[in-house]
Structure 1
Amino acid sequence: MTLKTKFILLSILVAISTSVFSFFVIQRYHAKIPLINRMFADQTKASQPKAPVNQYEGLEPESIDPDGVYYQNRVLILMYHDISPNPIDRGTLSVANFEQQLELMKSNNFHWITMSQYRDFILHDSPIPDNAVLLTFDDGYESLYTYAFPLLKKYQAPASSFLIVNAIDNPLHTGVPKVTWEQVGLMHKNGIDFFSHTYDSHRFALADPASDTRIAMLSGPIYLKDENRLETETEYEQRVTDDLKKANDILHQKLGRPNYVLAFPYGEFSKSLPKIGEKLGIDLMLTVRDGLNKTGQTTGFRVNAGGMSNDPVLQISLMKHAETLLGSKQFDDGSEARLYTLSAMLFLMLLGVFWLWMGRRLLVLRARAA
């Protein structure tokens, strides 16, 4: 095989390796490349919600196990939104299904913990019971007080709710009716904790007028229509800081204690958002991604337990197998993607050096022949 043929084959290999490396980079960092990010914009458009995923696929009803141990030194956080006796929206859980969930959790040896216990576990490795579960409610819907609160009291289950602070007692704030500060105060005295879901950033905003791309307001710079430009990173960070600080101040005033948790609206966030939160005393943050939570994991995972499609019996089966079905998947995703990206980059660099060396040899031989 001649040197020229070897160089051609090596060039093809370099091209293939570059494509593979580019694939890993785009998968991991597409949000930082605006032009490419448009290809992934569907997940952030309010007008195009994701189709529901069948989280119960492959699961079957299981017998009650009052002494079962399904996971240890982990916390499963359940996420709820609206609750109604007769749901008409797919994101609303029926009151009957919620009560059945509570009954099944209690009879299957799951143990509810408070946000304070969760925080001590995450930050200080404090002990928690086996099969620990943290119940959370997003948005502060009025149904939390009307329907969920009585059942939580009945089963003596602590819970936490994340409030869109500007929506509370605000007649100008449209949408599903929210709790009042009076109701918040009553629930707070009876086992329900309240934290931040932002002051008024639970919305989508335009990020790119050319493609009509809309993003969650906390997830990155938004388009400034009056100035016909995108926010700078500094402006984005200041806007988010102002919003979260305002929410913190009001929650502290109303509840008598500092706010230290933020639930990301729509689960979307930026690289700088956790740092902004830390400066404001927010040391725990929650996404909407599935998974179990371990010590030191300050950005936590949650499992959606609400919605019209909820099946309480299969929900318990999922919780029993959470360590297998949810645990390792989320813990490993980031590290594996990083490993693949770095490995592809290293291989491409070595291949590039060899390609340059062989190319130089080919040029030298051609020069001698001439």
Structure 2
Amino acid sequence: MGSRCDVTAFNIKNLTFDLPFKSLIFDGSEKYFNDIRSSLVKFGFCVLDGQYLLNGSLEPDDSTIALVIASGVCSSQYKKTLETYEKRLDLRSFPVAFVIPEYMPLYEKKKCYEYGCDLLVDWPREMKKMRGLLIGLQFLTSFQKQARNSDDLMKNVAEIRLLTDRRLYHCHLQVSVYGDVLMLGGRVDSLWTKKIVESAASSIPGFNGILSEDLKVVPSSKRITESLSLNAKKIFEEYLPHGLKTVFFYEVDGSLRIDGTIPKYIDIQEIRSKVERLEGLEVLDFRVIANSFQWEQDEQLYNRICRLISESNIRSAGHVELAVCGGQVYVIGHWSSNSNKIRMEMLLRSVKSIKGYNLIDQSKDHSLDSTG
């Protein structure tokens, strides 16, 4: 295993943080193990294979040990792994980090926290430089020494992470401790989000202040904010008597794309000018596909397709938008795995089987392939 170090230190932005543990227990599949283990070893950690601990050939020592789990792909697998370790370790005595797949849904993240996870780190985004894991572990072990017994502290720290997940799925929030100061770094999607995070952080007991100069406001390149999308939809609702069934919204490279059809008696330029005045919104594609509508017939088709979507459970597979106009069905979507892609293809075949309608699948036009 190599020699053990009393203190592991690493340098970020000219500040050296000390990690007060000698070794890490790592439980990871072959996909994760080599990359993560080699990175941790470079920083001076003694990385212990968790399987040796579980089979009894390795005993944990008296030093503070962190457990890093990277063998699960969902909260249920994480829970199962955690329960296995609870039989051998007192998990209250050291932090537990879970390396998760990219784009894990928020409800899965919440479950991980509920099961007793102290830190979630995305793979491979944050793991490329080990930054997220190292800063997170430093934070956890620092406040562990100061106020580990405070349940309120643990809950508030978890709430900060969940707040940023709600506001921006791809945000990178870094929380660390230097002395008795709570330090916030990374990026959030808006000044409003920053104020929420700062307010939540300032309410955590046990610290004399917070430092958030390194918490930058950077608009997301991956997701349109909910308020922006809602404001755009409200504009269309003013003009469309039948709602938004023939207009759909989707995100491409940080911009809101609007596509669909409107009746010929509505002034498209007036709608366009109002939408484009929304701050932060760039309309990439807004065109009239047809000038005549078959409202009643299109609505029947739309409702039928909605039933197909419900039956195929495609909503949980990725994201699908549909627009129906004048006998044509416009489909734009993306999916998160090959199995979900198959479900998408089955749905499209079902839509194509509806007689009298022409399916236009635009998903490939926007490079939304099986990678999600």
Same fold (TM over 0.5): no
Please identify which structure carries the higher helix content.
Answer: 1
- Could you tell me the TM-score, scaled by structure 1's length? 0.30
- Whichever structure has more strand as a proportion of its residues is 2
**TM-score w.r.t. length of structure 2:** 0.30
